Structure 1
Amino acid sequence: MSRLLLGSFAISLCASAVACGSDDSGGSSGGTGATSSGGSAGSSNGGTAGGGNGGTAGSSNGGTAGSSNGGTAGNGGTAGSGGSAGSGGSGGLTSCAPLPMPSGNTVRVTPSEADQLPSIVAGAATGTTILLADGTYTMSTSGEAARRIQLKTPGVTLRGESGDASKVILDGEYQTDEMVTVHASDVTLAHFTVTHAVNHPIHVTPDESGEIVSGTRLYGMRIIDGGEQFVKINQNGDRDAFADDGSVECSYFELTDAGRPHIERNPGGCYTGGIDGHSAQGWVVRQNTFKGIYCAGEGLAEHAVHFWSASRDTLVENNTIIDCARGVGFGLVETGNVRDYPDNPYPGVGYIGHYDGIIRNNVIWANIAYFDTGIELDQARGAKVFHNTIAIGSGATGFYTGIDYRFANSLVEIQNNIAQRITVRNGAMGTLADNLEGSPLSLFVDANGGDFHLAAGSAADAAVDQGGALTEAGVDIDGETHDKGGAPDIGADER
């Protein structure tokens, strides 16, 4: 077992593997306030989980899942052959090793050419890989059009040459609204850091009416201190073009104390979050680390991972979420923007904030006063929440909940999760089984040290072999299947 430091958190890694948010309909970086589902504040069942300080176990099957604030973001090869959220396939974990070097057309860029980078990217042909040499890229030009990197040609890759994201830094210096915008299909962004954007460091959105932008791949990235949501995914203004079937893997997201004063304050006082997907279908969010996405008493930040506005078939698995205001969200508001799917799986139901999808094998650790919800399901129809570990330290002093499902069109399955508590509101419906609520942190090997594997001996009896068998269980934080004992263990670790 190795140990990875994330700021003040020690993460043990196995050697195997709101009151804010915008239901916006356009491709702009901003957005207007929406009536929020409100998180869980004030709806808790009382009591808080005692326990110590610590990190979280975010391990990979042979490599690190995410990286230290100064290290690489867990750069990596392919993400395994995991099935889509719709099929519920269990993909297994990968090592997050660097992508292989390209064999086709390449263009090498150095930091001294930073001002030319937007035009170099704009002129790249399909199949081109643009290699960014190590160093910090800042631009002396003025004006958003001259500073923003826009990918409008399909099949282009922009990546760090060394495979170490910490060594290739695109710094917007809070002078660029959006640093990288993806308007074309089959675009890959890998192995570099994007930081200090006024709004979104990365934005994926169609540029043409009726277009589907698909196959976007973010891999081994470090995305630090965005003023708004770090990765924005949304439809066009006419709502007839969408961004589907992308992936975010082996990457590291962090909002630092230095970045927090630069957060967009309107609407809601804290308009920021990790990944924010609107009307998006088929995205995979796997083996990433999210840290510190919260505002200090200035409103409720959006989730580390959030898909809503009629998004569908999202798979969120094997991620580590540390000290974020909200962990994973499917849906948000009671009614909002819609997307008309030709094969509508739930005819006659009314507004659905998120269709189907799976949230599984994630570790969520919160030890901050601003924590609200671990997993939030609002007008989420067909969502499945399996084998997650949500652990709360004594620093979480407000009202909070581990898993919350809300509103009458929610119909969810919640099974085999460790959560301090599970709450239901506003007529939501669900099937719950084999969940463990209210357990002390002694259930884990070393919560204070950031090891959220189940403890040896009798300390974890409440979780070991106490779960139910699931065909869509996926793999645990070490890449192991949930069938080692007489029955599955509860939570994200199979002891």
Structure 2
Amino acid sequence: MTAAALPRLLPAVCCLGLCSVLISAASAQGARPRTAPPLPAPDPMSYQIIHVDTAQALADAAWNLRSNQAIVIAPGTYDLASVNFPNGVDGRITVGRFGAPIISNIQVRGATDDPADVVLRGAGMLNPIVPYGVQIFTAREVTLANFSVGEVYYHAIGVQGGQGAGDIRIYNVRAYDAGQQIIKGSGAGADDVTIEYSQVDYSVGAIVHPEGSPPNSCYTNGIDVTGGDRWIIRDTRIERIRCQNNTLAGPAILVWQGSADTLIERNLILDSSRGISLGLVASSDHSGGMVRNNLIRWNPAATYAVDVPIYSTSPNSRILHNTALTRGRYPNAIEVRFAGATGVEVAGNLLDAAIQPRQGAAPVLSNNRSDAQTAWFRDEAHGDLRLSVAGEAQLSGALPRHPQVLLDCLAESRPASTEAGACGRDPQRVFADGFEL
């Protein structure tokens, strides 16, 4: 890839959290890396726009939201523990009041395109005065965008399906450091939620929580959906979903308890205890679903417990063209479990460990590789799992393109003959030795 071509590629690469390996070259060319394409400003013909610049003003505006309103938050750090919350209970930001009529066509967003510019901060993972960062109750057609939210007792973002919350877009948001699950979709009806160009992470790891299950345990997932249909999780970096006491944390992405038709694609999951789970304890936990073009890597030197990168109990699910490296920490890279998980397809994945059917599962396997080497990737140690020159030579475009995977990890078109794994050949490569990088 030439230096002149680099700015074109940065937005797509950075959405996967790969910016660190490209920033120095981009800076030399004067390019400014970005994590998401800019979200258009709210149209004043469609929204009443409310500007806020204090935590109290934000809480008041959210409490009084009506349909067709957009809250725009000025840059700054917003201490939610300082809020005199309108219902007199706690410092969460509420979108749609509990038990009230449904409102719709709502935005809550930072004023800039950088989520680090607007930080909604609670009182810490062990202080219940701020239980949630943002909690959506009776609201639909909601966009949350361009801010960071974390340091809370339960969840950084909660979607309450039982109250009517659904049709939610979480865009260019960093959700971090929650005492339990970081983003939580709760109950039937929490449907049609899209998370994209975002970051979900622990700064260090999850804590032992007094209200864990069981109590005083590490009780976390990155994104946890119960009973939700048609969630889309894409182009998001998920990192350090693990326990500080080194016990086994829950999955980075867990969609279960009657959920269906989840699409999980082009995410980067690093240094966590577990990866992606469609279902967990039974084949009735999830139905359908697609897991494709994701990049997952475990740290070989870590001391915390780990489990499988990709796991499905979901009938008719598809696990296609993912790259998953256990680095010797776990014997399997993909597991499909239970006899009821029928019609599962596992194809085109690039792995360094086995694909393991469990308890009567019989997935259909094709064109997978379980012999991946670290030298096949550009910078495996820092999470850049695009193919190196050596990786391209080893894989050499030997597979027919799968009809469900027409794009690769950068959302670029795959050629008719492609490679195993999430990232195909670099079409911009000029020299065989990769010197132009």
> In the alignment, which residue of structure 2 is the partner of 1:168?
118
**Structure-2 separation of matches of 1:373 and 1:133:** 41
> In the alignment, which residue of structure 2 is the partner of 1:110?
53
Aligned equivalent of 1:133, options 54, 69, 74: 74
Q: Deviation digits for residues 263-316 of structure 1, max 9, x if unmatched?
A: 567225221111101111111101000110101445321111111112111100
**Structure-2 separation of matches of 1:436 and 1:216:** 37
| Alignment check: 8 A CA contact 2:279 2:286 kept | yes
Aligned to 1:301, the other structure's residue is in SS state: coil
Aligned equivalent of 2:316, options 382, 386, 395: 382
**Structure-2 separation of matches of 1:155 and 1:474:** 33
| Alignment check: 8 A CA contact 2:59 2:92 kept | yes
Aligned equivalent of 1:201, options 131, 150, 156: 156
Larger RCO of the pair (alpha carbons < 8 Å, separation 6+): 1
Q: Write the mapping of 1:399-418 to structure 2, written as runs, cut at 5 A.
A: 399-411=330-342, 412-418=344-350
**Structure-1 separation of matches of 2:238 and 2:399:** 27
| Alignment check: 8 A CA contact 1:264 1:272 kept | no
Which segment is superposed worse, 418-427 or 357-366?
A: 418-427
- Residue identity in the other structure for 2:82: S
**Structure-2 separation of matches of 1:194 and 1:375:** 27
C-alpha displacement of 1:119: 2.4
| Alignment check: 8 A CA contact 2:338 2:359 kept | yes
- Residue identity in the other structure for 2:145: A
> Is residue 185 from structure 1 mapped to residue 145 from structure 2 by the alignment?
no
**Structure-1 separation of matches of 2:6 and 2:189:** 38
Cα 1:14–1:402 shift into 2, 3 Å: farther
Q: Deviation digits for residues 377-406 of structure 1, max 9, x if unmatched?
A: 12x10110111001233xx54x34211111
C-alpha displacement of 1:107: 0.6
> Is residue 492 from structure 1 mapped to residue 422 from structure 2 by the alignment?
yes
RMSD: 2.6
| Alignment check: 8 A CA contact 1:373 1:403 kept | yes
Aligned to 1:120, the other structure's residue is in SS state: helix
Aligned to 1:156, the other structure's residue is in SS state: strand
Aligned equivalent of 1:433, options 361, 366, 369: 366
> Is residue 422 from structure 1 mapped to residue 355 from structure 2 by the alignment?
yes
Q: Which has the higher strand share?
A: 2
Cα 1:124–1:96 shift into 2, 3 Å: same
**Structure-1 separation of matches of 2:116 and 2:271:** 22
Q: How many residues align?
A: 387
> In the alignment, which residue of structure 2 is the partner of 1:38?
none
**Structure-2 separation of matches of 1:381 and 1:16:** 39
Cα 1:466–1:110 shift into 2, 3 Å: same
**Structure-1 separation of matches of 2:210 and 2:222:** 14
C-alpha displacement of 1:449: 4.6
**Structure-2 separation of matches of 1:263 and 1:400:** 30
C-alpha displacement of 1:356: 0.7
| Alignment check: 8 A CA contact 2:207 2:218 kept | no
> Is residue 242 from structure 1 mapped to residue 189 from structure 2 by the alignment?
yes
**Structure-2 separation of matches of 1:118 and 1:447:** 42
> In the alignment, which residue of structure 1 is the partner of 2:109?
159
C-alpha displacement of 1:2: 11
Aligned equivalent of 2:39, options 99, 124, 130: 99
| Alignment check: 8 A CA contact 2:290 2:318 kept | yes
C-alpha displacement of 1:62: 6.6
- Residue identity in the other structure for 1:254: D
Gaps of 5+ in 2: 21-33, 97-102, 426-437
Gaps of 5+ in 1: 4-12, 18-58, 70-93, 236-240, 335-350
Aligned to 2:116, the other structure's residue is in SS state: helix
**Structure-2 separation of matches of 1:402 and 1:356:** 20
> In the alignment, which residue of structure 1 is the partner of 2:207?
261
| Alignment check: 8 A CA contact 2:270 2:383 kept | no
Cα 1:148–1:123 shift into 2, 3 Å: same
- Normalised TM-score (structure 1): 0.73
- Normalised TM-score (structure 2): 0.82
> Is residue 227 from structure 1 mapped to residue 157 from structure 2 by the alignment?
no
| Alignment check: 8 A CA contact 1:278 1:311 kept | yes
C-alpha displacement of 1:371: 2.4
Which segment is superposed worse, 218-227 or 137-146?
A: 137-146
> In the alignment, which residue of structure 2 is the partner of 1:308?
256
C-alpha displacement of 1:118: 2.2
**Structure-1 separation of matches of 2:170 and 2:92:** 18
C-alpha displacement of 1:250: 0.4
**Structure-2 separation of matches of 1:264 and 1:281:** 30
